Amino acid sequence: MFIIIVSALTFIIGVLYYFLKRKTSFSEVRGLHVMVTGGSSGIGKCMAIEAAKGGARVTLVARDQLRLQKAKSEVESHMTRECSQMVVCLSLDISMNLSDVERAVKEAEETQGPVDVLINCAGTSMSAKFLDTPLIEFRRMMEINYLGSVMVTRAVVPSMIKKKSGRIVFVSSMAGQLGLFGYTAYSSSKFALRGFAESLQMELKPYNIKVTLAFPPDTDTPGFAEEQKIKPKETRLLSEAGGLFQPDTVAKIILKDSLKGKFLSSVGIDGFMVSTLTCGFSPATSFMEGLSQVTLMGLFRLIALSYLAYFDYVIKKCKDEDEIKSVKKSS
């Protein structure tokens, strides 16, 4: 009976925390300069739109100039009429070299003022079995998903330290919390972001600069649609268990969590469970967050073991089916 009562209380605490933690207002970005890498599409563009709705000055960073201009028009259509706003575009490959990134950031700050909120959303994905993944893809993932975020952050942090305030967001992935079949290259680059974010938040905390590490689930974006074309069937079956979210929903949650100064940002019940399980030495930014992590860890670990058993079952089933097909072809 005692175990049942404790489990019930634990579950109630977790549910209450999950639904209460989102309360905040986008008006907190009013008048601030928000820079979004990967801002021409997907989650990045949606976060830029939410910032514009809140009255922020927005800088969009991406490689494709044509897509940037289209995104600019869309973001401008959501600007408020109550304050002076501007949307600036920077056509830039953030994975190239630091001097180009620093020059572009300086150009944006001369027009928009120092960056108050940096959203590192630029990234790329791919999925393939390890032996089918060219080694160059491991390097490409690290250069774009990890080093790109490092370089833009390096260019922005000095001005934040000078004014002793700022927000920095790293958009990782649920694949940056647990390794999945087919994501040996992608997960590696997203896991790297966690180590960087955890170390960076310790260094920047004395300067009132908050770091947020976001773990969005599968999201209905152009990049996701492209990845689906070559995704191994095992990866597709495993990822389907978490569902598919809309980019505007994901963007709202991440931006709200950043404005609240949260370090970990998750989406959906599964995301909350995985973030709780993998919190490790990540900072708890509220008493309720820490309490929910402590009380729910055991229960969520039990659930996770059942997930892992299911994943193993799916992978073995796919392997057996492939072997049967191979035998039929050879006979």
Contact 186, 127 (CB under 8 A): yes
For the chain, report the end-to-end CA distance as a whole number of angstroms: 60
Query: 318-323: long-range contacts at Cβ-Cβ below 8 A with a sequence spacing of 24 or more?
Result: 318/233, 318/234, 318/237
The one-letter code for the residue type at 221 is: T
Sign of dihedral through CA atoms 5, 7, 8, 14? positive
- Measured CA to CA in angstroms, residue 323 lies from 19, 130, 312, 329 at distances of 46, 18, 17, 10
Catalytic choice (190, 210, 256, 262)? 190
Residue spans of alpha helices (H) in 54-183: 65-76, 98-112, 135-141, 148-163
CA–CA separation, 210 and 85 (whole Å): 24
Contact 271, 241 (CB under 8 A): no
> Comparing C-alpha atoms, which of 67, 57, 75 is closest to residue 114?
57
CA–CA separation, 320 and 262 (whole Å): 44
CA–CA separation, 45 and 58 (whole Å): 11
Per the annotation, the verdict on 190 as an active-site residue is: yes
Per the annotation, the verdict on 172 as an active-site residue is: yes
CA–CA separation, 77 and 67 (whole Å): 16
The one-letter code for the residue type at 330 is: S
Catalytic choice (40, 186, 262, 266)? 186
Half-sphere exposure of 142 (CA within 13 A, CB side): 10
Catalytic choice (172, 189, 258, 292)? 172
CA–CA separation, 119 and 70 (whole Å): 19
Q: Which residues are catalytic?
A: 172, 186, 190
